[in-house]
């Protein structure tokens, strides 16, 4: 037995931080640390606000005792709902913004030039196209915003308020000044509240950027927008909605627009490359035409500007935004709420999943076992459960799975014989709860605590006497996957006594093992991160076919999480990759683990549910708050799960990869279409001029199309591409990452074949046009004596239009033949409609001279062979489509063979990661011999502990 030096210091001290000594600091309490501040638009304002605390306090409402429903409704009418008006961009402003920017600017230049040249019809057409694009962009933006807003509505915060004499969970928007609310660890502060009594730690990072929590007591006011990270108090709502400090300064916090993250950078690069390339070619064309056909200055300028406008991917961002919005809606059907659209693209590249154990890998349904270990006389399972319930708020809704388990098994009527005077909720840094109580029957005052056994053992006065037995019990239980909860009570001298150890099970979910197997098949490794005992973690890994090699917190590098070095991945990456999980970790360890893996080159997703997971969720590339997560975890996450288990996360990965495939096929096609168009007219301008084939028409000296035909190609293409978000795709077997050199290479191959086929058809058509020079042209074999000038123009319009849409079907299947995967119905219908419109326009275009250029429908004519000309164009295009697709497949085979631009190795994110990917897909041999280190804590040389008698009696024996 030890002396009173083992006595624990007082549990409650309102003048210090809310914390309980767990022995980890040798009994020394760390003083509150001064928060480290970063730059923030509100940090100065909040600092000034705190300086006026005394003046402010005098004007506050007195501590509330709760409201009735009638009182709350009356106050709600007076003060309004407790919510901030979202900064919603007006629809008209969205429309106007779509009329301004780099790409619309180029179209405005073309419109001005057309009107300056007095080409009123063409200028009007370009203006109509500009307005049409802006309208489509406005519609898609509104629709995408409404879709995301609808999903976010399902994540509205709730508050625990004392109404009508009982604690209730209500919509936080219904809070009013004077409400009594519970401010507990893991919850968001729902309004500006004064603290009635006690102290809590509050994370104000969202307001001030302070990296460390701020300790607050009755002289402070936690603000809306912050989160409670430690402690639990009752608070009185003082200000709500726009009257809160956050509401008054919200204009400083709201961002103008949420960008698309990494995909925005990718789109910007693509647009810069395409626009620069097109501008250079069009400028060369303009100079060449001006020099060779000096009398056609206006037409040269008009032609160059229109080709430049058509080549610019005006609808690029609109299509990508629509595709992401459609993806978020599909994810919601899989019980995944996306709070940031950029998370979808990031999730497609995840190759490392750090998963919390409890509730994600396991059922999170704790079941008390009959086996109970007692260490004091007079205690049994029933009485230990009562003590455990006393260390909780037994007449309030359970706050976590452990409280749910204990309160569901304990006799709560027995608990009513006690009055709880102080309570400290669970804290991830102390891993226990505690309460001070008074026995109403005897007047005895004592404290109880429940928590992790390795923490509670540090408190008891006789630790040296019982430590070995407790360790044996824990090891024995952990080796069978059984968890335990220690319960201790103070005596009249304030010394802690270990009363008993409760045992319970949290079995793995039935689908977890198969889900982990699927994750590895898709190139994603799973690392389990838990605060539980290392032996429980080892056993859980064996059950789930994970590597049972577990790293504990004491083996992790000791670094300052507020100033992490840049070489963590280099120094400790291999160590972390060589284990199946981490045990007995704290929040700072989770944060550091995620950062180390990110530095090692992995794209990490992190799942969590508690306030202790929030830092790691924020740091991960994709933070995923699981079902039932706290407000703090959901606020830090990019995705929120409304369904249980890890399988939902895997579904999120697969759906995200499908969205990525759609964006990849769209970008490949759009690059290809631009290159095909601009290169065709560039080459034709130099080498296939109608003048060289006998044309004497001054408006047909070089080959071009009327502006209306150019715009029809653009409009129909963009309209069809709006349906790309609904295309049928297959999720990739590997995580996806952007590799623009590969994307451009694939697009160039498709464009080269399409451009070559267009140039060949133009060559043949010009020969048929100059029948005197070329009497035996290909068209002559079809029974056409001569192809008029108007039909030459229309013929190439139809060919370019058909080739564009057929190229879309080739680009969407990557390195496979187009027929290996059928397109989505909506995309197919959109393409069919666009092709039908193009064919009808080309077939029945009335003979006219738009822009002074003679044009004529292909189906007009007396001979049957003339009326079948559109059909021959279709056959020609389809033949070349098969050739194009075959060349594409062969090119992809070659690219993968030589690993061109890292198309194979970089698909997973680098060769080092690729080698690791091969290793993680090797199954763990469950029957393999275990290492001595694994088995050492489990081997027992003594007989099992007899739990039928208390420890004191066993000690005498």
Helix (H) or strand (E) holding 625: strand 622-625
Cα–Cα distance measured from residue 444 to residue 119, given in angstroms and rounded to the nearest whole number: 98
- Total Cβ atoms within 10 A of residue 135: 12
Please work out, in degrees rounded to the nearest 5, the angle formed at the alpha carbon of residue 935 by the alpha carbons of 934 and 939.
155
Tallying the residues shown for the chain, one arrives at 957
Dist CA 515 CA 575 (whole Å): 25
DSSP secondary structure letter of residue 185: T
Q: For residue 770, give Cα distances in angstroms to 685, 692, 804, 859.
A: 18, 10, 28, 20
Q: Element (H or E) spanning 160, and its range?
A: strand 158-163
User: Do residues 636 and 614 lie in contact, with contact meaning Cβ atoms separated by under 8 Å?
Assistant: yes
CA–CA separation, 650 and 691 (whole Å): 62
Quote the crossing angle between the two packed helices 463-478 and 534-543, to the nearest 10°: 0
Q: What is the C-alpha to C-alpha distance for residues 432 and 455, in angstroms, rounded to an integer?
A: 8
d(CA 147, CA 483): 43
Q: Are 356 and 930 in contact (CB under 8 A)?
A: no
Of 162, 150, 304, nearest to 234 (Cα)? 162
Q: Which burial class, exposed, middle or buried, applies to 846 when counting CB atoms under 10 A from its CB (0-12, 13-18, 19+)?
A: exposed
Q: Which two tokens stand for residue 306?
A: 């229109």
Question: SS3 for 498-530, per residue?
Answer: EEEEEEEECCECCCHHHHHHHHHHCCCEEEEEC
Q: How far apart are CA 497 and CA 374, in angstroms?
A: 11
CA distance 263 to 599: 21
Angle between helices 316-333 and 262-292 (to 10 degrees): 150
Closest CA to 430 of 13, 14, 31, 29: 29
Torsion angle in degrees (nearest 10) through CA of 306, 310, 312, 316: 150
Outline where 558-692 has alpha helix (H): 568-577, 587-599, 614-619, 631-636, 647-687
- Which residues form the catalytic set? 356
Cα–Cα distance measured from residue 929 to residue 268, given in angstroms and rounded to the nearest whole number: 54
Give bridge partners of residue 336 from the DSSP assignment.
641
> Exposure string (b/e) for 29-66, b if CB count within 10 Å is 16 or more?
eeebeebeeeebebbebbeebeeeeeeeeeeeeeebeb
Closest among 20, 22, 11 to 445, alpha carbons compared = 11
Q: Are 61 and 151 in contact (CB under 8 A)?
A: no
Contact 364, 610 (CB under 8 A): no
In 373-384, which positions are buried (b, 16+ CB within 10 angstroms) versus exposed (e)? bbbbeebebebb
In angstroms, the CA 659 to CA 726 distance is 9
Q: With the C-alpha atoms ordered 776, 780, 785, 790, is the resulting torsion angle positive or negative?
A: negative
Q: Backbone phi, then psi, for 949, in 5-degree steps?
A: -125, 150
Cβ atoms of residues 644 and 509 within 8 Å: yes
For residue 284, CA distances in Å to 98, 117, 278, 372, 795 come to 30, 21, 10, 87, 26
Q: Which residue has the tokens 């993968």?
A: 896
């Amino acid at each position: 037995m030890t002396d009173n030096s083992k006595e624990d210091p007082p549990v409650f001290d309102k003048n210090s931080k809310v914390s309980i000594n767990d022995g980890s600091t040798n009994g020394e309490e760390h003083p509150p640390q001064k928060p480290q501040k970063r730059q923030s638009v509100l940090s100065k304002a909040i600092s000034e606000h705190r300086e006026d605390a005394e003046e402010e306090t005098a004007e506050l409402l007195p501590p509330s005792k709760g409201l009735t429903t009638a009182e709350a409704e009356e106050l709600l009418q007076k003060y309004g709902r407790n919510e901030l008006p979202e900064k919603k961009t007006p629809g008209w402003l969205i429309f106007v913004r779509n009329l301004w920017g780099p790409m619309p600017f180029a179209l405005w230049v073309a419109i001005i030039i057309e009107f300056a040249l007095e080409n009123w019809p063409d200028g009007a057409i370009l203006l109509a196209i500009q307005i049409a694009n802006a309208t489509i962009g406005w519609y898609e933006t509104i629709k995408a915003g409404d879709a995301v807003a609808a999903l976010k509505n399902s994540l509205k915060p709730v508050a625990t308020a004392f109404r009508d004499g009982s604690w209730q969970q209500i919509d936080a928007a219904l809070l009013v000044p004077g409400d009594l609310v519970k401010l507990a660890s893991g919850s968001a502060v729902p309004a500006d509240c004064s603290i009635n009594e006690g102290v809590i730690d509050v994370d104000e990072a969202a307001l001030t950027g302070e990296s460390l929590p701020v300790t607050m007591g009755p002289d402070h006011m936690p603000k809306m927008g912050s989160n409670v990270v430690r402690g639990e108090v009752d608070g009185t709502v003082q200000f709500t909605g726009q009257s809160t400090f956050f509401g008054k300064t919200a204009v400083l916090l709201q961002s103008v627009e949420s960008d698309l993250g990494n995909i925005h950078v990718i789109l910007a690069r693509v647009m810069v490359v395409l626009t620069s390339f097109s501008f250079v070619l069009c400028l060369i064309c303009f100079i060449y035409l001006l020099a060779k056909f000096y009398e056609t200055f206006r037409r040269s300028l008009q032609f160059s500007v229109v080709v430049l406008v058509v080549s610019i991917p005006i609808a690029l961002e609109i299509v990508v935004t629509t595709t992401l919005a459609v993806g978020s809606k599909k994810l919601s059907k899989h019980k995944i709420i996306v709070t940031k659209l950029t998370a979808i693209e990031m999730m497609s590249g995840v190759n490392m999943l750090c998963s919390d154990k409890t509730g994600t890998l396991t059922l999170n349904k704790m079941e008390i076992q009959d086996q109970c270990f007692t260490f004091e006389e007079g205690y049994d399972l029933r009485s230990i459960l009562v003590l455990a319930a006393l260390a909780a708020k037994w007449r309030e809704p359970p706050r976590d799975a452990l409280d749910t388990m204990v309160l569901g098994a304990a006799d709560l009527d027995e608990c009513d014989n006690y009055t709880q005077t102080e309570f400290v909720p669970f804290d991830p840094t102390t891993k226990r709860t505690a309460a001070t109580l008074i026995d109403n029957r005897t007047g005895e005052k004592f404290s109880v605590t429940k928590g992790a056994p390795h923490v509670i053992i540090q408190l008891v006065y006789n630790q040296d006497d019982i430590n070995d037995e407790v360790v044996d019990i824990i090891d024995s239980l952990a080796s069978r996957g059984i968890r335990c909860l220690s319960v201790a009570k103070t005596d009249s001298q304030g010394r802690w006594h270990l009363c008993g150890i409760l045992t319970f099970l949290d079995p793995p979910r039935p689908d977890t093992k198969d889900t982990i197997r699927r994750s590895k098949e898709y190139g994603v490794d799973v690392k389990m991160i838990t605060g539980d005992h290392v032996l429980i973690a080892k056993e859980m890994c064996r059950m789930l076919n994970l590597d049972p090699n577990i790293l504990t917190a004491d083996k992790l590098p000791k670094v300052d999480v507020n100033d992490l070095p840049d070489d963590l991945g280099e120094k400790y990456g291999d160590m972390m990759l060589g284990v199946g999980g981490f045990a007995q970790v704290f929040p700072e360890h989770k944060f550091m683990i995620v950062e180390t893996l990110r530095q090692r080159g992995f794209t990490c997703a992190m799942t969590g549910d508690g306030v202790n997971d929030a830092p790691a969720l924020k740091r991960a590339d994709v933070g995923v708050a699981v079902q039932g997560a706290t407000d703090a975890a959901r606020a830090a996450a990019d995705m929120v799960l409304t369904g249980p288990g890890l399988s939902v996360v895997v579904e999120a990965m697969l759906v995200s990869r499908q969205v990525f495939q759609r964006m990849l096929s769209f970008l490949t096609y759009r690059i290809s279409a631009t290159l095909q168009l601009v290169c065709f007219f560039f080459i034709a301008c130099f080498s296939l001029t109608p003048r060289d084939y006998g044309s004497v028409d001054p408006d047909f000296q070089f080959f071009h199309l009327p502006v209306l035909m150019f715009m029809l190609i653009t409009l129909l293409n963009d309209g069809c591409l709006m349906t790309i978000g609904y295309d049928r795709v297959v999720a990739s077997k590997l995580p996806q990452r952007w590799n623009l050199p590969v994307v451009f290479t694939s697009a160039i191959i498709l464009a080269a074949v399409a451009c070559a086929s267009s140039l060949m058809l133009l060559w043949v058509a010009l020969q048929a046009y100059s029948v005197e020079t070329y009497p035996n042209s290909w068209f002559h074999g079809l029974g056409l004596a001569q192809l008029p000038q108007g039909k030459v123009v229309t013929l190439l319009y139809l060919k370019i239009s058909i080739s564009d849409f057929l190229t879309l079907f080739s680009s969407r299947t990557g390195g496979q033949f187009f027929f290996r995967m059928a397109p989505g119905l909506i995309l197919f219908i959109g393409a069919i409609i666009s092709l039908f419109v193009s064919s009808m326009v080309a077939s029945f275009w009335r003979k006219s001279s738009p822009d002074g250029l003679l044009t004529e429908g292909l189906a007009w004519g007396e001979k049957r062979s003339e009326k079948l000309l559109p059909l021959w164009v279709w056959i020609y295009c389809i033949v070349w489509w098969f050739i194009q697709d075959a060349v594409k497949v062969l090119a992809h085979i070659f690219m993968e063979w030589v690993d061109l631009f890292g198309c194979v190795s970089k698909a997973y994110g680098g060769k080092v990661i690729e080698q690791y990917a091969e290793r993680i897909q090797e199954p763990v041999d469950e029957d393999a011999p275990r290492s001595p280190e694994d088995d050492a804590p489990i081997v027992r040389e003594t007989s099992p502990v007899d739990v039928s008698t208390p420890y004191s009696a066993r000690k005498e024996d």
